[in-house]
Amino acid sequence: MQAVVERSSAEKNVYVEGFKALEAEGLAESEALRSLRRRAIEGFEALGFPTPKMERWRNTNVSRIAKAQFRAAERPGEVRRESLAPHVYDGTGRMVFVDGFFVPELSTPLKLPAGVLATNLVEAKKLHGGLVESHLGHHVDFEDQAFAALNTALHRDGFFLYVPKNAVVEEPIHLLFLGTTPETAAYPRNLLVLEDNSQATIIESYVGLTEEAYLTCPVTEVSLGVNAVLDHYKVQRESLAAFHIAVQQSWQDRDSALRSHSISIGGALVRNDLNGYLDGEGVSCTLNGLYLVDGKQHVDNHMRMDHAKPNGYSHELYKGVLNGSGRAVFNGLIHVHEDAQKTDAVQSNRNLLLSKNALAHSNPQLEIFADDVRCTHGSTIGQLDDDAIFYLRSRGIGEEAARSLLTYAFASDIVERIKVESLRQDLEEYLFTRLPRGEVVRQAV
């Protein structure tokens, strides 16, 4: 027992040291933000890394991350402009972050209407300190989530968006986070604040440019004012050895709408925590997701929807294609508070198992304290329909191609919901290349 305690404190020490080093660097931050970091590292020290004994982590073991003891990168890795080409989307403004650092040379100017503030977080802390202070760390619960605490304490940079009342950002903003240096950790921190009647589209994409292991631990906080609309896309294409542990927390005021799409393709061990707090009447929240796992990949999507006020609408659809010895975990909780009458919540998880060794855990959960609600959840796990394959074969399509075609149909259901055309095309293209006999599928489609 003693040995265990010692080991776990040694595991934490690296991060506590990292925090001290960051403090010693003398970040240009207000006292309020500094004390936020201190509270967070204390929170992390108290929590330690989660273990499978904790209900929320029972299917995902992060001891590999704890043991690896990643230190934050000291400087951004070298990235040449050409190597970005496969990872950018047409018709979007771009902010590029490498190993947690903002790299202006790789970024493009954003087209912003008057009054909209969109910069990297370091800049925002200098120029709009008050705004940042009033939101940063206010939405995400870092006292209960170890990785959110780590990020809050150790984040270096990230993206800050402030859309004032009645403003609409038409061009999607693409945040590209690159992991380039092995054995390092990056803690991107994003803050998206949309005031009343405003609108914006954000794409967060995470890409690995190295084959080795590294850790990305991002936190995104979203605050939506009355009637605000945010389209949020997340594309996770980390290296196949990488760890990706993300937390997204949104807070929504009356009649606002959040449409979130999460596509998870890369990473050795991936965990996405998506928490939404529906704190006004008539709020709508749509969460769609697609995860593809193969080899020994492990993807865990944890969602929590808090319906705190009446007439809320939340709709979750997560689909997964599991191959090889891949593992997928889905855990969705809809919590309807006492006053949240007329809540309409739907949660559904569909898993397609393509191989013998793939394993899917699906735990859709409902906690309901109001009596006038409509809440449903559904979960299916299965393989491709033999009848459907037979039908395609009887029409002269080879078995392998038939399987690919059906798998494509299953997965593209989510991709088709993406509104940013360049992103959608890129992902469709990816599906073709990933599936065996993708050419046949492409022709058929």
Partner 1 sequence: MSTAMLEEYAEREYEFGFVTDIDQEMIPPGLDESVVRLISAKKEEPEWLLEWRLKAFSHWLKMEEPQWANVKYDPIDYQKIIYYAAPKSDKDRPKSLEEVDPELLRTYEKLGIPLKEQEMLAGVAVDAVFDSVSVATTFKGKLAELGIVFCSFSEAVKNHPELVKKYLGSVVPYSDNFFATLNSAVFSDGSFVYIPKGVRCPMELSTYFRINAMNTGQFERTLIVADEGATVSYLEGCTAPMRDENQLHAAVVELVAMDDASIKYSTVQNWYPGDLETGKGGIFNFVTKRGKCEGKRSKISWTQVETGSAVTWKYPSCILKGDDSVGEFYSVALTKGWQQADTGTKMVHIGKNTTSTIISKGISAGQGQNTYRGQVKILKGAHGARNFSQCDSMLIGDRCGAHTFPYIDVNNPSARMEHEATTSKIGEDQIFYCNQRGIATEDAVSMIVNGFCREVFRELPMEFAVEAQKLLEVNLEGSVG
- Residues 244-283 contacting partner 1, CB under 8 A: none
- Burial profile 177-189: b = 16 or more Cβ within 10 angstroms, e = fewer: bbbbbbebbbbbb
Binding residue for partner 1 (CB under 8 A) from 377, 406, 427, 440?
Answer: 377
Binding residue for partner 1 (CB under 8 A) from 6, 78, 211, 338?
Answer: 338
Nearer to partner 1, 9 or 365 (CB): 365
Q: Does residue 378 interact with partner 1 by CB under 8 A?
A: yes
Cα–Cα distance measured from residue 166 to residue 114, given in angstroms and rounded to the nearest whole number: 11
Strands 257-264 and 229-237: parallel
- Total of chain residues touching partner 1, rule CB under 8 A: 35
In angstroms, what is the minimal distance from the CB of 430 to partner 1? 23
Binding residue for partner 1 (CB under 8 A) from 41, 185, 375, 423?
Answer: 375
Dihedral angle over CA of 39, 139, 149, 32, nearest 10: -30
Nearer to partner 1, 53 or 81 (CB): 53
Site string for partner 1, 355-374 (x = CB under 8 A): xxxxxxxxxxxxxxxxxxxx
Q: Does residue 9 interact with partner 1 by CB under 8 A?
A: no
In angstroms, what is the minimal distance from the CB of 354 to partner 1? 6
In angstroms, what is the minimal distance from the CB of 186 to partner 1? 32
How does DSSP assign 197-248, residue by residue?
Answer: T-EEEEEEEEEE-SSS--EE--EEEEEE-TT-EEEEEEEEE--TT-EEEEEE
Binding residue for partner 1 (CB under 8 A) from 1, 24, 31, 55?
Answer: 55
Q: Does residue 351 interact with partner 1 by CB under 8 A?
A: yes
Q: Does residue 354 interact with partner 1 by CB under 8 A?
A: yes
Q: Does residue 51 interact with partner 1 by CB under 8 A?
A: no
Indicate the SS3 state at residue 106.
Answer: helix
Cα–Cα distance measured from residue 122 to residue 120, given in angstroms and rounded to the nearest whole number: 6
Q: Does residue 61 interact with partner 1 by CB under 8 A?
A: no
CA distances for 286 relative to 201, 315, 368, 382, angstroms:
14, 5, 19, 25
Binding residue for partner 1 (CB under 8 A) from 376, 390, 398, 429?
Answer: 376
CB distance 283 to 295 below 8 Å: no
CB distance 279 to 252 below 8 Å: yes
316, burial (CB in 10 Å: exposed 0-12, middle 13-18, buried 19+): buried
Nearer to partner 1, 399 or 416 (CB): 399
Cα–Cα distance measured from residue 259 to residue 408, given in angstroms and rounded to the nearest whole number: 23
Nearer to partner 1, 92 or 297 (CB): 297
Nearer to partner 1, 124 or 308 (CB): 308
Interacting residue ranges for partner 1, rule: CB under 8 A: 55, 338, 341, 351, 353-383
